[in-house]
Structures are given as C-alpha cells and as structure tokens.
C-alpha cells in the first residue's frame, strides 16, 4: 500500500532544495515557496514541502539528505531568509525528526544548527521560478550552486536517485 506523507524543509535557496528533492525516488511532488512557523519563527523563509511515498523513501533519509545538501552548520547572516529547519505536520513526525536530527548530527564535525519547528503557513513561489532547475539547467546559478548538490547526491545517496 502506498503511503504518502509530507514534510517541509528549509535551509538554503529553495531553487536548490527543490532540485535536490525532485531528483529522488519516492518523492511525488515538491512545492517550492516560503514557510512560516510559530513564536520567534513567524517570518516566511525559503523552503519546500516534499510529498513522498514512505514505502519508497523514508523520512530519516530525506532529513539526512537535507542536512548534507545545505549549510546546516552555518549560522550565517541570511538565516532569516534561509532558515535551516525541518517543519513537521504532526507530533509523531516531530519526534521522528528530532531523533533523526540528533543521530545524523553526530556525523558532522561542526555543530548542526537546523531546528525542528511546527509547520504553520506556506506561500507558493510565483510560477515563473517554480521548477527552476528543470527549466534552467544551463544557467550559471544552477551550474554553480545546484549541480554540486546533485553531484553530492550521486556520490553519497545514489541508491535514492531517480534514473531519468
């Protein structure tokens, strides 16, 4: 039985995050846009909502890929625009995300700053920039920023890549 779930992830440019997760088996849809959480994180930050088939790719794998494909250890000046976060949709997902984050953090040399936050609100990107990499693979931005992330997928997570 196919089980579809969703998780929202933010960290870097949503063009990059969208391209990374569109390349994976089991990802049914990636919505690119801006996510807000609660309390101190109510501002919108670039993110994606990933709809995925849990029978093909598990949440822990998605979180691990997310941590490796953005600057999850860098508390840089653009963190309001690029909040490093895993936005959960349920208490069960919150617990799983915290567990995965705590386990994967151990594999990093530097401290991982990614937060686990409740999902509150989503605003989709304008149509013109959705599917950015698929529409513009030859653009300098894609070559400089997205291609290295896709290369990391090939080298570290190849068994999860779509073959097309």
Neighbours of 96 (CB within 10 A): 19
Residues labelled catalytic: 13
C-alpha to C-alpha distance for 90 and 20, rounded to whole angstroms? 24
Residue 71's contacts (CB-CB under 8 Å, 6 or more residues apart) are 11, 12, 84
Tokens representing residue 83 in the block:
């909040």
CB contact burial 105-136 (16+ within 10 A = b; e otherwise): beeeeeebbbbbbebeebeebeeeebbbbeee
Token representation of residue 152? 């990391």
């Amino acid at each position: 039985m196919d089980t579809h779930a969703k998780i929202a992830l933010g960290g870097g440019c949503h063009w990059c995050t969208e391209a990374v997760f569109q390349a994976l088996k089991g990802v049914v849809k990636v919505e690119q846009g801006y996510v807000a959480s609660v309390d101190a994180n109510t501002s919108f930050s670039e993110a994606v909502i990933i709809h995925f088939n849990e029978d093909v790719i598990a949440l822990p794998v998605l979180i691990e890929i997310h941590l490796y494909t953005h600057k999850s250890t860098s508390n840089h000046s653009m963190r309001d625009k690029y909040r490093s976060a895993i936005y959960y949709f349920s208490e069960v997902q919150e617990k799983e995300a915290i567990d995965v984050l705590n386990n994967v953090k151990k594999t990093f040399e530097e401290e991982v700053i990614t937060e686990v936050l409740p999902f509150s609100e989503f605003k989709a990107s304008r149509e013109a920039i959705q599917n950015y990499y698929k529409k513009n693979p030859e653009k300098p931005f894609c070559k400089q920023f997205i291609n290295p992330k896709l290369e990391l997928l090939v080298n570290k997570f190849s068994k999860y890549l779509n073959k097309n």
